[in-house]
Structure 1
Amino acid sequence: MAMSIDCELCIIRSFQQSDERTIAQHANNKEIWLNLRDHFPHPYTQADAQQWLESIVGAIPEITFAISVDGKAVGAIGLVLQEDIERCSAEVGYWLGQAYWGRGILTAALKTFTRYAADEFKLTRLYAVPFLRNTASMKVLEKAGYQREGIMRRSAIKDGQVIDQALYAYIPAY
């Protein structure tokens, strides 16, 4: 069953194969790529969008969703559910098309998605590890109720550079 949650500034909803064009359009941006994991390609082509959507549309459990504005998928938000002794935790990740930055859309989406994910998956901890240089993402996390727990020094390599990451977490109040 398709999921849809109104966040006022956007809608978080299930992806559809028809989102291919707008995902490719907004994801093909080096500024976005520089702040994401390497499995997110650059340049980001229509074929990349098609392949990615084929891998997530209809997946069970559904853990990756569109951030939709005016009926168009302009970003994504999702989880990496942890396993074994960390099965009550999940890493949250997101991106938003640059044309939509600075409007509070991502903060609204993350606040709403965090509550949804904690309840839906019975999570006791959600966390994110933005690159330390990504101050905009850290502000989004803080506005959404995540707290900075520390800095993971020299923990990632992106675009040929060894960089630091911050560790943010949200602990639901049950």
Structure 2
Amino acid sequence: MEVKLRSWRISDLEDLVMYANNWKIARNLTDQFPYPYTKKTGREFIAYATGEGPNHIFAIEVDGQAVGGIGIHPLGDIFRKNAELGYWLAEDFWGKGIITRAIGQVVEFTFKNLDIDRIFARPFGSNMPSQRVLEKNGFVLEARFEGTILKGDELQDELLYALRRKDWNPDE
């Protein structure tokens, strides 16, 4: 199974809506990733992801189909050497190593092409699979913030995982 990262296309709209419209995905993401996920939301997202300016938001393609998304978001000002990693994957493709490979590809892209020294991700404390895929890619837990995420009516912990350029080993 080939995992490829590429730009989003408007032709991905049907797959995007079909796969993203899933509470099991949305419950682990910020409220900017809504549930239900509608065609209108999908069109707006694709327009944003393909808009002007430097943009590093990719579709995760498996066997010619967009089955998830991953992005690296460089910060500015005094945090300009840092970038936040975000990702999601369709439930049908969980447990197959796809997101682990996609994260590895984005890490390589970031450290080879951007002036970034630290990539971080902020999974929910309850999202163990997300923590595992980060750890498989060399990310380490830097912090746990108790009860800082309010998703629905539930307070959850926010974890801060990071990988620093100096600790990255592209041959692993």
**TM-score interval (norm. to shorter):** over 0.9
Q: How much has 1:149 moved relative to structure 2?
A: 1.1
Distance 2:156 2:126 in 1: 8
Which residue pairs with 1:5 in the alignment? none
Which residue pairs with 2:107 in the alignment? 114
Q: Does 1:21 align with 2:14?
A: yes
Bigger mean CA deviation after superposition, 133-142 or 159-168: 159-168
Report SS of the residue matched to 2:165: coil
Which residue pairs with 1:35 in the alignment? 28
Q: How much has 1:61 moved relative to structure 2?
A: 0.5
**1:119-158 map, 5 Å:** 119-158=112-151
Q: How much has 1:59 moved relative to structure 2?
A: 3.2
Q: Does 1:54 align with 2:36?
A: no
Distance 1:129 1:118 in 2: 19
Distance 2:144 2:66 in 1: 32
Same amino acid, percent of matched pairs: 37
Distance 1:84 1:55 in 2: 22
Q: Does 1:71 align with 2:64?
A: yes
Tell whether the 8 Å contact from 1:66 to 1:73 is kept in structure 2 after alignment.
yes
Q: In the TM superposition, what whole-angstrom CA distance separates every residue of 1:102-130 from its partner, at most 9, and x where no partner exists?
A: 00000011011111012222110000010
Q: Runs in 1 of length 4+ with deviation above 6 angstroms?
A: none
Which residue pairs with 1:82 in the alignment? 75
Report SS of the residue matched to 2:130: helix
RMSD: 1.2
Which residue pairs with 2:86 in the alignment? 93
Q: Which runs of 5+ in 2 are unaligned?
A: none
Q: In the TM superposition, what whole-angstrom CA distance separates every residue of 1:17-66 from its partner, at most 9, and x where no partner exists?
A: 11111010100000000000001110001121111101121432021000
Tell whether the 8 Å contact from 2:6 to 2:60 is kept in structure 1 after alignment.
yes
Report how many aligned residue pairs link the two structures: 167
